[in-house]
Structure 1
Amino acid sequence: MRRTDLPHGLFRLGFAFSVVLFGLGFAPRSIAAADIAATTASISVIVSGEVGHPLTLDATALAKLPRVTVQGSDHGVSGSWSGVPLSAILSAAGLPLGEALRGKNMALYVRISAADGYRVVYALAELDPQFRNEPVILADQHDGKALGAKEGPLRVIAPTDQRPARWIRQVTRIDVMRAPDAVDPSR
């Protein structure tokens, strides 16, 4: 069938569909490559608050810390996540962990913030390996590949959480805070 045998509107629809398919077939690959290059260059997380040593960790600093791989499921999709245990980052910042985590230090909590303002909270004890069987990690890889711009460059993975609501993406800050003293209701 030649072009002249098709109704004009049908030919235009076919042409538009071809343009869309061509764009979908090639654009995502170049965007994904750009995302990966950008995320590697932009890895940075600030660790501050009630810490002994405030830190700004880039890709080089994170690479010097111990790495682990955990299994997890994000909305029904299982996979492996690799990164640094949050306990290793907090230990490098001078926080009490292990036997030193007791008494008034049990009131410490960790607020993790994302680039879009989303925040999640963990009690410091939730991140201590002596309180938890599976580590909570600051991941930079999913199934062996660097996280893309949508998820990364850094994402918290808590594999034993029943829901991934605290699996915060695009992490920029880790702030350690102390819960305020309880108010005596008799006053």
Structure 2
Amino acid sequence: MSKLFEASLINGLNLKNRFIRSATWEGMATVDGAVTPKLVQTMIDLARGGVGLIISGHSYISPAGQGSPWQLGIYKDELIPGLKGLTGAVHENGGKILMQLAHAGNFAAEDLIKQPPLVVSNFAGLAETRRQEITKSTIAELISAYTDAAARAKTAGFDGIQIHAAHGYLLSQFLSPAFNKR
């Protein structure tokens, strides 16, 4: 057990201990993905409580990738000031923080994104409502969206990023024979 409380180094990132808070969905952002005081306070509480590394909730990299309401976003520069406040608060309280970048793909909330969700392959039985199969040009746009989101995370003071590629979200769809029929 004592190892949990020892300082650790992960790829050049010094952590005060080995307690890591995994990414979750907090549901504490605004409807357009901006940071709120409640979200900042939650992260402060985690850092003050002794968590060495916090991984943010899955943050959508483009409006078409939003999976749920009140989800944290990183899809536009206007979100950076709030994100800077979040990272600053975590750092002031002795913690480190990574941003998890995500695109919900098939599981994007159609009522929020106002278009059919993106899928790697569209086939009968995939969903009850219409889906939009991803094209090569859309893939290029998504690569840019991930790149831009990573740059925004760096500008906002995050200590690194984590890429969400699980749970049937867009990137995991590429890896899954159940979703990828290309």
Q: TM-score higher than 0.5 here?
A: no
TM-score, normalisation: structure 2: 0.21
Higher relative contact order, structure no. (Cα contacts within 8 Å, ≥ 6 residues apart)? 1
Please say which structure displays the higher CA radius of gyration: 1
Q: Higher strand proportion, which one?
A: 1
